[in-house]
């Protein structure tokens, strides 16, 4: 029996509520067979993938408000009914995002699912920038009505301390990286699931986008490739940050350009000690197993 034959479509077994997410919204989502779901833990290239998918769907078109087109469905705000109504009204091929592990998500057997992985150290360095640049209004929104669990408070300015708090604290102030990655890894052999690693996309973006186009069964006219590749570059996204950042970047000090920060890996290398990295890698190995831990660290074939 092949790995694909041994892999069955997952079922939702629980709900997740925390300071950011409410998984129950998916219970009311009216899927279409050609929908695209972009999944990540967070800060793993989600917005980049949304931009890539939008460019493939719309053939390199300029001026797309990707953040509005492609909401984070399980985010607690805006209200679920408002998001669902807006998505129901869309007539183009829809592409949405989730940060849920598979067992808290409603998995559709015909919908295409793309999952992006990234080394947890890079994730948390990006998350720290994200978290410490929330505006006062963002904290009020996150900690407002409907909050489940601890309030989200401004973090320490020390990136290493932030990382260690996350590593030792079961995922808070975010959520568990390990269960998120592990559950998507377990279904990687399904025909409607594609795992992509941030580092692989950075190394050869064109190769990655062509692979994504093939997976999504989108035929791209040869003359549109230059525009697609340009519009998926970091420089383009930084210049058009208000179109790709959640809520137009209004929840971040400095706006969307703060959200589209560095787009680089390895910024933790001169901050974390050898012992810190050893502890992280041991945790990844115990939580994910050798194959998945290796993929999360450096990408490559799954």
Q: What is the pLDDT of residues 25-72, one digit of tens each?
A: 999 999 999 999 999 999 999 999 999 999 999 999 998 999 899 999
Q: How far is CA 148 from CA 10, 17, 162, in A?
A: 26, 6, 22
The whole-angstrom separation of Cα 7 and Cα 107 is 14
Q: How confident is the model at residue 178 (pLDDT cuts 50, 70, 90)?
A: very high
| Percent residues over pLDDT 90 in the chain | 71
CB 241 within 8 A of CB 256: yes
pLDDT of residue 10: 95
The whole-angstrom separation of Cα 49 and Cα 1 is 33
Predicted confidence (pLDDT) at residue 1 exceeds the cutoff of 50: no
Q: How far is CA 215 from CA 8, 57, 60, 180, 250, in A?
A: 19, 13, 18, 22, 33
Distant-in-sequence, close-in-space partners of 287: CB < 8 Å, separation ≥ 6: 178, 182, 293
H or E segment and range at residue 206: helix 205-216
What domains are there in the chain, each with its CATH number? 23-119+134-156+187-264 (3.40.50.300)
**pTM, to two decimals:** 0.93
**Six-digit token string for 39:** 């999944």
- Euclidean distance between the first and final Cα of the chain, in Å? 18
Burial class (CB in 10 A: 0-12, 13-18, 19+), 275: exposed
Distant-in-sequence, close-in-space partners of 53: CB < 8 Å, separation ≥ 6: 36, 38, 70, 95, 114, 212, 216
Predicted confidence (pLDDT) at residue 281 exceeds the cutoff of 60: yes
Q: What is the pLDDT of residues 99-147, one digit of tens each?
A: 999 999 999 999 999 999 999 999 999 999 888 888 888 888 888 888 8
Query: Of the ranges 65-69, 110-114, 185-189, 202-206, which one carries the lowest mean pLDDT score?
Result: 65-69
């Amino acid at each position: 029996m092949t790995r694909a034959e041994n892999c069955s479509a997952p079922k939702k077994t629980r709900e997740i509520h925390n300071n950011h997410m409410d998984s129950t919204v998916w219970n009311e989502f009216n899927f279409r067979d050609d929908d695209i779901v972009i999944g990540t833990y967070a800060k793993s290239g989600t917005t980049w993938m949304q931009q890539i998918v939008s460019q493939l769907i719309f053939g390199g078109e300029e001026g797309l408000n990707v953040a509005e087109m492609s909401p984070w469905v399980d985010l607690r705000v805006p209200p679920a009914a408002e998001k669902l109504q807006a998505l129901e009204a869309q007539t183009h091929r829809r592409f949405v995002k989730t940060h849920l592990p598979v067992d808290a998500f409603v998995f559709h057997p015909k919908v295409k699912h793309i999952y992006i992985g990234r080394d947890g150290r890079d994730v948390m360095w990006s998350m720290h920038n994200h978290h410490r640049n929330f505006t006062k209004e963002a904290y009020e929104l996150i900690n407002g009505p409907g909050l489940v669990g601890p309030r989200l408070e401004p973090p320490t300015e020390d990136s290493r301390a932030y990382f260690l708090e996350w590593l030792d604290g079961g995922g808070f102030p975010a959520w568990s990286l390990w269960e998120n990655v592990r559950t998507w890894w377990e279904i990687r052999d399904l025909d409607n699931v594609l795992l992509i690693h941030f580092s692989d996309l950075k190394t050869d973006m064109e190769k990655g986008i062509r692979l994504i186009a093939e997976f999504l069964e989108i035929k791209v006219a040869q003359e549109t490739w230059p525009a697609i590749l340009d519009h998926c570059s970091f420089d383009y996204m930084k210049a058009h940050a208000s179109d790709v950042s959640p809520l137009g970047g209004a929840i971040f000090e400095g706006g969307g350009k703060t959200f589209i920060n560095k787009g680089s890996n390895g910024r933790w290398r001169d901050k974390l000690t050898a012992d810190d990295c050893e502890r992280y890698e041991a945790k990844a190995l115990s939580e994910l197993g050798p194959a998945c831990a290796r993929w999360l660290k450096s990408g490559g074939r799954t």
